[in-house]
Amino acid sequence: MRSDSLAQTSNSGAYSWWVSAITDPRWLQALRLIVLATGFIFVGMQLSGGVVRWILDMVGAAVLTYIPNALMLLCLFVVLISEVLNARLRAVALLFLIWIALMIVIGSYNTSVKQSVFGLWVLLPFLFGLALGPVLMQTAAWRPWFYAVMFMVAAGGVIAHQYVSLPWVGVSYQVGGVELEGAREWHASGGKQRLSGFARSSFDVAGQIMVAAGLWSLYLRSFWMRVILWVICMLAISLSTSKGILLALLMAAIASEALLRQQKWVLSGVFVVGVIWLFLPPLLGWSLDWTEAARVDIDHPIYGSFIDRMNDM
C-alpha cells in the first residue's frame, strides 16, 4: 500500500510540475522563441534545400536535414501537452486530432503503418502552421525585411540558375539506406530545364517566390513598386516552368490588391474561384475520359502536364 501511495504522490508531483512549468510566463516566452526559431530554420531549409543537402552530404551529415521537421514535431507535442494539462483543448482541435487518427488508421489499412506515418510526417509543416500560426504571425518590425529576403533568395536563385550551372542540381544522397534527391534535375516538354535555384525542385521554388512576393507586397505602399514586384515574380516563376503557380500568382496579385484597397467582395471572389479551380479539374476525372487527350496532347507546352496528371494520377 505504501509503494502505491508513493507512486501516486510521485505522479501527482510530476503533473503539478508540468502545469506550473507550462503556465509560467517565462516558459511561455521561451516557447514562443523556440517556435519562431523553428519557423526560421524550416523556411531557411526550404529556401536553400538543394544547397544544404549538398553540403551536409559532403560532410556525411545528411541526416541533419530532418532537424526542422523534428523541431516542429517537438513544438506540436509540447503545445498539445500544455493544452491538455490546462484543460484548454478546443473542440476544433479535438476534432482535428480525431481526423488525424482516422487518417493514420485508414492509411495503414490501405497501405502500411510506415507509409501512413510518413504521410503524417509530410503534413508536419501544415500542422505546425495551423497550431502555432498566431505565434508565427505576430506583428514585428522585421517581417517585411524577412519577406524581402525570402523573395530575393528564391527569385535570385532561379535567375542565377538560368546563367550558371549549379553543382547541387541532380545530386542524390542516402539516409538509412534510402536514396534521396538533393535537388531534382528534370526538363519540361521540348527539353527546357526546369530551374530550381537554391531549392530542391522547380515547383518548390516557384511556390516560395509567389508566397514571398504576396506577403512582401502587403508592405509596399507604392502601386508601381508592387507592379515591378509582380513582374519580377512572373519572370522568375516562368523560368521554373511551373504553370500552375503562374495561375496562383495571378490570384495572389488580385488578392493582395483587394486586401490593400479593402475590397472584401473581390477577395471573396478570388477565394471562391480558387476553391473551384482546386476541386473542379480532379472531379472532372469522374465523368470524363482523359486517355485520348493524354495520347494526343501529352507534350503540349501549356497544358500537357495537367492532362498527364488527370490521366495517370
CB 182 within 8 A of CB 32: no
At 62-119, the pLDDT tens digits run 888 888 888 988 888 887 777 766 666 666 667 777 887 888 888 888 888 888 877 7
Torsions phi, psi for 178 (to 5 deg) = -105, 130
Give me the pLDDT at residue 6, please: 47
- With cell 510506415, the residue in question is 114
Question: What is the chain's mean pLDDT, rounded?
Answer: 79
Tell me 57's DSSP state. H
At 261-295, the pLDDT tens digits run 888 888 888 888 888 877 777 677 676 666 666 56
At 209-264, the pLDDT tens digits run 999 999 999 999 899 999 999 999 999 998 888 878 888 888 888 888 888 888 88
> Which uninterrupted H or E stretch holds 181?
strand 178-181
For residue 141 the three cell numbers come to: 518590425
CB 213 within 8 A of CB 151: yes
Higher pLDDT, 84 or 3: 84
With both helix axes pointing from N to C terminus, report the angle between 223-240 and 143-163 in degrees, rounded to the nearest 10.
40
Distance CA 155, CA 235 (A): 9
Single-letter residue type at 111 = T
Give me the pLDDT at residue 297, please: 65
| pLDDT over 70 (residue 1) | no
CB 200 within 8 A of CB 188: no
> Which uninterrupted H or E stretch holds 238?
helix 223-240
| pLDDT over 50 (residue 304) | yes
- Find residue 187's DSSP bridge partners: 193
Burial class (CB in 10 A: 0-12, 13-18, 19+), 127: middle
Distance CA 143, CA 219 (A): 9
At 181-216, the pLDDT tens digits run 777 777 766 667 788 889 888 888 999 999 999 999
DSSP 116-146: HHHHHHHTHHHHHHHHHHHHHT---TTHHHH
Structural domain spans, the chain? 2-136, 143-262
| pLDDT over 70 (residue 164) | yes
